[in-house]
Structure 1
């Protein structure tokens, strides 16, 4: 089968990257006046390309897209958890202390918001959602031209009494041993799995397979499309076909050098990584044993390479159908993930590793093979795609279009971007990261500051050092202004 041949090649390809020589993408040859949009959303994926590629998972297809588009090297999620991050991006609205706190929040928290998909649909696009796009697939469902599709839908059982059975379906274990553990415990079985199966056996592969079918239909329809494809891995459990596990030697995998909170960091920065602890093979308290930590890294890397290969298949089909020259392609991660750094696992923290995200945009007529060093954030994607597609600008959304930086990577962008998690609010500039924690009365109870110019791994909290007093005061003022503005929206 053609796709199998492509996948075999992609899985073994090694691509050299260059981000220094800009080129201009070919003008679209399609008769369509509006560009298509292919939005590839990857769950829980850390930054793996460009200057962050050392000791990272192998992602040749994402790397290739970066050389053919524009890579944003300092992009950040606005909220380091899946559902809230996606709700924020797809509505173009920031989270606050009262908004986007749970997993399924777009309809509940922003009932009047026009989703990104809805805006494209209102302007003549066919809009399709595959896999995990909104965390709750029925949020803002009117924005899709047909019902959002997930491969587990056909397997799902009705009724609250089947909640456990449906969780097993979503976790998608392919080995008998993992399924036996799930059946015999009230936990989530194993945190990782490698099975001798094809790429399309797991639900993750079926999402990519469906995306290819949708592209083929779009080719025949000759109508502009907005296709959102939400790949689930490397979200827990880290399940992937065996061949991706075999891409890595255990002894070559990196081990976190910082296995405790940074020096002088407040205890508020710590969390218990309960998402991971709910798995059968993970201790319920205390540190993870070294061999288990190595296996978790192995599983995460394998699952990341698995999704990269699926992205390669989808992009190869886009090219084969000759849709690529008139299609905007976005690869975006909903947030980062800690692999033992600072003694933490999973997301749910204010550190860079849990908030920095991959963001690559390839657009017709835009320069290629460049990278942007200015700070950007997820809410910027909504206005960017609107401007690139020449459809009307939306009012009442946050974020700033990135088109000026797509045209000129050295163009001045934002001075700062903002993220938040529960009681923590963060401001980031190109150089600094400053976070404040507040109590219910709004009083600051703790803070931390990192100077990325000298401490890129965030190992020493310098918020109380005298020489950074003016820096803290300035960042604190900007942060408060943004909090006040967001709370009024």
Structure 2
């Protein structure tokens, strides 16, 4: 019953003794006064209680909001360590190569998701790295050569590190990440929070004074009894470790890209890494037979290895030269592996390993005389397939490899997705996070690679487009830019006639494109390639010439392209 109801009842109640009005009136006045005081006290009490409840509610809401804001500000944003290894093919223990001595990368693989079927977009440094950092195909960056810069054709493109910089990250580049050209324009300074560093003062390929003093290129190999810092990658690793130490003290997440120079030619490494191997372990490939029925255009029109002082210009190396070159490559792989280990050790020592996404990649594959081919610059399996692995906090089933087929343009959206950032627009790749979380998931039905002939910075005359399915590779060489078919290649990796496995590597043995038994398959892959190019590339833009970066113009008509 309400107090007002009580008041009404008391005021209207009948009394038996009507004659005692005065006494009764006084009593009523007292009771009414008591009731009014009770009402006032109760109202005051209610107001106090309500005020207290309201104040408490708003205080709790304010505290909750403050705590939410603090959590938002202090929630750890994952750092990114982005490791590039120049010319690294899958000559790693974790990829099944029994010769390779790579304990650090192998250990990283045990905690990572390793891709066994990762393919670059173009098997040469500049175009491949441009596709990785822009997330776009070479026909869309229009970078088909080391002397093309994507800013000339895509001035508003946002690179992977630039995207992280825009999201509040400190971004920094050490070593060869985008380009091997030691100019600021080639390193794309707008992608980084501080000026990128390709090489420090005195960082030279050769440690020997004799080799450094020669004009032009020196020998293809060198081993000196020096500490790691005697060659550039050792200096780079020391600088990278110091940078990680400095960045770990900041209240800002970082994207640190470190690009090691080896095992790119020349094969120069401290003697202790050469001593890890017995020269007799390297099979004398000599001048092996080319892939049968492969068109001439399938092979490079320039010879990278032949530009070195101690190598014949036609690359017709002797058995002993081939043995030493292979030995040198593996020594450089082990040297690079040791430097990678220093970075990973620094993360662990600084307690940053649990909050850092690590991505390790080789920019393309590499050939060491297989099928009469050295270096890269083809659409063959040895040159297009490369190592790729991701380690990230909270990864399920670490160390389980995936056979999903993926392209290197998928790296950009994957790193963004792993970091929990909004998807970046205008990319040709797709996030691999579903595969990272479940290694049994399927990847692409086929992957796309390409290479231009002649290998010059101007508009190509011929382009070789290649698609790789799980069991086949179809390559079509076309006139530029009409895409009229000139030559075709088809390889069946399940057929011992068409391909052969040597150790951990698949090598094309015979082109079966002209075989009637493969006609239906060839036509089907032809259609798939056409559809992919139609939907993924800008045909109209390809008709316009691309200018050569003036900082990289070469002097002399016969100067060999270095294929950096």
Report the TM-score range of the alignment, normalised by the length of the smaller protein: 0.7 to 0.9
Q: Once the 2 structures are TM-superposed, how far is the Cα of residue 32 of structure 1 from its aligned partner?
A: 4.1
Query: Unmatched 5+ residue regions in structure 1?
Result: 1-29, 156-168
1:240-270 CA distance string (max 9 Å, x none): 0010011111101134498122122112112
Hey, what does 1:10 align to over in structure 2? none
Structure 1 position 97, deviation (Å): 8.6
Query: Which structure has the greater CA radius of gyration?
Result: 2
How far apart are residue 100 of structure 1 and its match?
Answer: 0.9
> In the TM superposition, what are the counterparts of 1:176-195 in structure 2 within 5 Å?
176-180=209-213, 182-183=214-215, 187-195=216-224
Matched, 1:398 2:428: yes
Structure 2 CA distance for aligned equivalents of residues 488 and 179 of structure 1: 45
Contact 1:273/1:346 (<8 A) preserved: no
The answer to whether 1:211 aligns with 2:252 is no
Alignment of 1:1-12 (within 5 A): none
The number of aligned residues is: 441
Tell me how far apart the structure 2 counterparts of residues 452 and 361 of structure 1 sit (CA, whole Å). Answer: 27
TM-score by length of 2: 0.75
In structure 2, the residue matched to 1:342 is 371
Q: d(CA) in 1 for partners of 2:446 and 2:304?
A: 30
- Equivalent residues in 2 for 1:82-481 (5 A)? 82-96=125-139, 99-103=142-146, 104-135=148-179, 136=181, 138=185, 139-152=187-200, 154-155=201-202, 170=204, 172-180=205-213, 182-183=214-215, 187-256=216-285, 259-271=288-300, 274-285=303-314, 287-367=316-396, 368-422=398-452, 423-440=463-480, 441-454=482-495, 455=499, 456-481=506-531
The higher relative CO (CA closer than 8 Å, separation ≥ 6) is in: 1
Change (3 A) 1:259 1:51: farther
Aligned partner of residue 118 in structure 1, secondary structure: helix
Distance 2:235 2:315 in 1: 37
Contact 2:405 2:442 in 1 (8 A): no
- Comparing 94-103 with 125-134, which one deviates more in the overlay? 94-103
CA separation of 1:107/1:97 partners in 2, compared to 1, >3 Å: closer, same or farther? closer
Instruction: Label 1:411 to 1:57 Cα distance change in 2 as closer, same or farther (>3 A).
Output: same
Mean alpha-carbon deviation: is it higher for 292-301 or for 259-268? Answer: 259-268
Structure 1 residue matching 2:483: 3-state secondary structure: coil
> Quick check: 1:45–1:333 contact (8 Å CA) kept in 2?
yes
Q: Distance in 2 between matches of 1:32 and 1:310?
A: 31
Return the match for 1:74 from 112, 117, 127.
Answer: 117
Counterparts of 1:51 and 1:389 in 2: how far apart (Å)? 26
1:282–1:257: structure 2 CA closer, same or farther, 3 Å change rule? closer
Contact kept? 2:435, 2:441, Cα under 8 Å: yes
> 2:76 — aligned with what?
33
Check conservation: 1:374, 1:430, Cα contact below 8 A: no
Separation in 2, partners of 1:258, 1:108: 41
Which portions of structure 1, spanning 4 or more consecutive aligned residues, are displaced by more than 6 angstroms?
Answer: none
3-state SS of the aligned residue for 2:138?
coil
- 1:84–1:105 CA contact under 8 A, matched in 2: no
Cα drift, residue 34 of structure 1: 1.4
Runs (5+) with no aligned partner, structure 2? 1-72, 453-462, 500-505, 540-564
Residues 39-54 of structure 1 aligned to structure 2 (within 5 Å): 39-49=82-92, 52-54=95-97
Change (3 A) 1:320 1:262: same
Q: Does structure 1 retain, via aligned residues, the 8 Å contact 2:405–2:445? A: yes
SS at match of 2:465: strand
State the alpha-carbon separation in 2 of the partners of residues 314 and 98 from structure 1: 31
> Is 2:448–2:466's contact at 8 Å kept on the other side of the alignment?
yes
Inter-partner Cα distance in structure 1 for 2:479 and 2:507: 27
SS of corresponding position for 2:228: coil
Instruction: Give the distance between the partners of 2:140 and 2:478, measured in 1 at CA.
Output: 10
Distance in 1, matches of 2:444 and 2:287, equals: 31
More divergent stretch after superposition (438-447 vs 472-481)? 438-447
CA–CA distance in structure 2, aligned partners of residues 381 and 443 of structure 1: 32
Residues 330 and 439 of structure 1: CA distance in aligned 2, closer, same or farther (over 3 Å): same
Rounded to whole Å, the distance in 2 between the matches of 1:179 and 1:148 is: 25
- Say if 2:93 and 2:99, in contact at 8 Å, map to a contact too: no
TM-score by length of 1: 0.86
CA displacement 1:210-264 (0-9 Å, x = unmatched): 1101110111103111000000000111110010011111101134498122122
- Contact 2:305 / 2:315 at 8 angstroms: preserved in 1? no
Report the Cα offset of residue 449 of structure 1.
1.2
1:450 shift after superposition:
1.3
SS at match of 1:370: coil
Q: Distance in 2 between matches of 1:258 and 1:413?
A: 37
